[in-house]
Amino acid sequence: MRGADRDRNAVNPGEEHIELLTAEAPRIPHLALDAQLTTEQQLAAVRRHLRYGRPLDPTAPIFNRTFAAALFDLDGTLVDSTASITRSWATLAREFGIETDLLAIGHGQPARQVIAMSVPADLRERALQRVTELEVTDVTDVVALPGSSELFTSLDNTTRAIVTSGSRLLARARLAAANIVEPAIFVTIDDVTHGKPHPEPFLRAAELLKVDPSDCLVFEDAPAGLAAARAAGCGTVGVVGTHPAEELSADILVDGLYQLRSLSAPSGGFRLQPTM
């Protein structure tokens, strides 16, 4: 058969056949990652998406204790706001001509403290107002971290609190974006004199919950927050993600709160248990 005859007799797949082939093509799962995140933060996001979890020892002392209250950090622990924070602080640095890596020196600390480390005194109030404006309006991709809402809502208002270095305005904006209900006890930088790594925020939360700080378990992702929790005498769970594991000093490390669940204790309070 000559080439022209072959062309005339070739089967035209037609639009229906092409649509069928497209519909049957394998779908490959993918995860959009923010280019502004570090490689370690991107890998942490992939691990969370896959619900990967490092092995937890069920006989670890923290799983054999009864706690009166759980104190949760917000950003990087309950909600994923890392991309928003990175964008906001990068914009601030660009607008104010700051060359210092602001997040590297002050992640987990109140904005006022971070700005005091790197911004001239006469510009600090303007810088604080600006970064607050940037962060409050940049919440479109702020979401609850995998497993965080489940663990948080498994505890009632008498045994849980949020303790954040952010302002109440910012914290409420991020909670709303992540669809997490504001708890009855909610300690922000507006409620204390000293922010993390000072223990005052966690001591204040324990006081409001009417429990001893040594009976509290803190969930934190930042070295400053974990230092504050230890100084307050609390038990600690370090959430790996915004910081690598080697930077976190805690009673136990997890890749996400999906690795943990709470069980009501017969005598009151709760006990922690690994889910996997």
Extents of the domains making up the chain? 39-80+144-168+177-274, 83-137
**Mean pLDDT, to the nearest integer, of 103-115?**
79
At residue 88, what is the residue type? S
Predicted pLDDT of residue 68: 98
247 vs 49: which has the higher pLDDT: 247
Residue 5: pLDDT band with limits 50, 70, 90: low
Per-residue pLDDT at 16 exceeds 80: no
Catalytic residue at 190?
A: no
**Mean pLDDT, to the nearest integer, of 154-174?**
96
**Mean pLDDT, to the nearest integer, of 10-35?**
54
**Mean pLDDT, to the nearest integer, of 178-201?**
96
Least confident residue range of 21-35, 50-64, 170-184, 228-242: 21-35
Lookup: tokens for 160: 């849980």
Per-residue pLDDT at 88 exceeds 70: yes
Scan for tokens 């809402």, then name that residue.
Answer: 149
Q: What is the mean pLDDT of the chain?
A: 88
Element (H, E) at 272: strand 270-274
Given 7, 57, 73, 156, which residue is catalytic? 73
CATH of domain 39-80+144-168+177-274: 3.40.50.1000
Predicted pLDDT of residue 44: 78
Q: Are 196 and 165 in contact (CB under 8 A)?
A: yes
Per-residue pLDDT at 154 exceeds 80: yes
Least confident residue range of 1-5, 74-78, 101-105: 1-5
Given 5, 34, 57, 75, which residue is catalytic? 75
The C-alpha atoms of residue 130 and residue 199 are separated, in whole angstroms, by 27
Lookup: tokens for 48: 């969370």
The structure's pTM equals: 0.82
Catalytic residue at 34?
A: no
Predicted pLDDT of residue 19: 56
